[in-house]
Amino acid sequence: MKIIAANWKMNHSFDECDEWLDGFFEGYAKNINQFQDKNIVVCPPHILLDYIDSELMEDSMKHLDAVMKKQDRKLEDFSEEELNEIILGSRPIKLGGQDCHDKKSGSYTGSVSADMLAKVGCEYVILGHSERREGCFETSEVVSRKIAAALEAKLTPIICVGESKEIREKKEHLAFIEKQIEETLAQNSGFEKLVIAYEPIWAIGTGLVPTDEEIAQVANLVKKLFETKYNDIAKEHYLLYGGSVKESNSKSIMAINNIDGLLVGGASLKAGEFLNICLS
Ligand code: PGA
């Protein structure tokens, strides 16, 4: 299974979102076979989540109806967990939040809890993005607590790590990434899917992309950590690459050994371009 995630960041109105969904599903329907082994995750701004969830619900309910008929069961015969699995499992795209708070509820103005994301159909949440680490002063310790909250709400966190230009120039990136992973995973276990996104800060939104060899070097390190240090804490392990992914480079990045998917920012805003990336 590959994971291709779209991080819309603070972009798209309701109208633009509608246009995106129409465009994406048109292409999806034409290429449905090529999506069988892929989880497509869309992470819009929080205010669009409920809207997209309800747009997806019509087909989800049709699917639930079909399952009920096939199994000759009534709605009340299904547990909440079963219903969630049937409804969310059938969706062509998965929903994800771009962040969540580490607390369940309370006086945290402007924040959204992991439970709240789950209630509007999210299955994923991006955590520890460098734009939050830098812009909102989030430490790895905070990210670690958010991961715990996400796991409790049964969300799959997409955990972002990656070095600055200065750290890469000093050739300290591998040690830096290993430490970031260690700090963010601290005391967290019981992952269905452990998803790490390697996003070098200097590649995000800049058009600069590490060479395939440079990505492979980090991928080898993370895979080694998955196999040694973090084997027991997750059933499945995934490493995504993010940072200036486009139609023109997605295919070669996806072909790098140990890369299991992509986290796409700017190029995910246009349905057609994102679709082509998903098909690469
Ligand atoms: P970008 O962003 O694709 O626009 O570089 C990636 C990200 O920040 O997740």
- Please give the model's pTM, rounded to 2 decimal places: 0.96
| Residue 129 falls in the annotated catalytic set | yes
Of the listed 101, 129, 173, 237, which one is catalytic?
A: 129
Residue 204 Cα: closest atom of ligand 1: 5
For range 94-104, the mean pLDDT = 98
Report the separation in Å between the CA atom of 67 and the middle of ligand 1, taken as the mean of its atom positions: 38
pLDDT band at 271 (very low <50, low <70, confident <90, very high): very high
Which pLDDT tens digit goes with each residue over 26-65? 999 999 999 999 999 999 999 999 999 999 998 999 999 9
For range 121-147, the mean pLDDT = 96
For range 239-243, the mean pLDDT = 98
Q: Which helix (H) or strand (E) holds 4?
A: strand 2-7
240 or 85: which leads in pLDDT: 240
What does the pLDDT read at residue 187? 87
Which residue's CA is the nearest one to ligand 1's atom 6?
265
Which protein residues touch ligand 1 with a CB less than 6 Å away? Answer: 7, 199, 204-205, 242-245, 263-267
Residue 252 has a CB neighbour count (10 Å cut-off) of 12
| Residue 199 falls in the annotated catalytic set | yes
Of the listed 123, 138, 163, 199, which one is catalytic?
A: 199
Percent of the chain at pLDDT > 90 equals 96
Residue 2 has a CB neighbour count (10 Å cut-off) of 16
What does the pLDDT read at residue 258? 97
| Backbone φ, ψ for residue 238 (5° rounding) | -135, 140
pLDDT band at 186 (very low <50, low <70, confident <90, very high): confident
Test site for ligand 1: of 199, 209, 262, 268, most ligand atoms within 8 A of the Cβ: 199
Residue 268 Cα: closest atom of ligand 1: 3
In whole numbers, what is the pLDDT of the chain averaged over residues? 96
Of the ranges 20-29, 34-43, 78-87, 111-120, which one carries the lowest mean pLDDT score?
78-87
Residue 7 Cα: closest atom of ligand 1: 9
Which residue's CA is the nearest one to ligand 1's atom 1?
265
The CA distance from 211 to 217, in Å, is 10
